[in-house]
Structure 1
Amino acid sequence: MSQHAKSTPFTRLPGFPQVVLKFVKEAKDELKKVTWPTREATIRYTLIVVAASVIVSLIIGGIDFVLEIALESIV
């Protein structure tokens, strides 16, 4: 009966660590090429998203409130 060496993901894929390191290096290089927004633009976009979220939640809450009152009057 022959004995087999314990198989791990790393022994089945001998180049796996190198592939991961290459991916991380390439991802880092690509992130250096990104044109990042300015601080002011980031703050402005954040405020727009927060305001839009509040407005949408108020609209949905208002619709929910009106439908609740309508259903209570029916039932």
Structure 2
Amino acid sequence: MRFLRSVKDEMKLVQWPTWKENRHDTMTVIMTSIVCALFLGACDWIFQKLLTMFVTHR
């Protein structure tokens, strides 16, 4: 029980982000994920086209 009490006391000391900060950070993660997905998708498409050209033009 002492452990749980100390956890509760520590949780009171945490400085939680505001809703504005939380929304901003969430949007940053979402936008970064979209940009990375687009970049990786473009790289995949380019490599697929190059590999297809290499294999079919032998």
Identity across the alignment (%):
31
- Detail structure 1 runs of 4+ shifted over 6 Å in the superposition: none
Structure 1 or 2: more helix by fraction: 2
Instruction: Name the aligned partner's letter for residue 67 of structure 1.
Output: F
TM-score, with length taken from structure 1: 0.70
Structure 1: tracts of 5 or more residues without a match: 1-20
Residue ranges of structure 2 left out of the alignment (5+ in a row): none
CA RMSD of aligned residues (A): 0.7
Q: Secondary structure at 1:40's aligned position in 2?
A: helix
| Structure index of larger Rg | 1
Q: How many corresponding residue pairs?
A: 55
Equivalents in 1 of 2:13, 2:39: separation in Å?
40
Bigger RCO (CA 8 Å, 6+ sep): 1
Displacement of 1:74 in angstroms is 0.5
Q: TM-score, normalised by structure 2?
A: 0.89
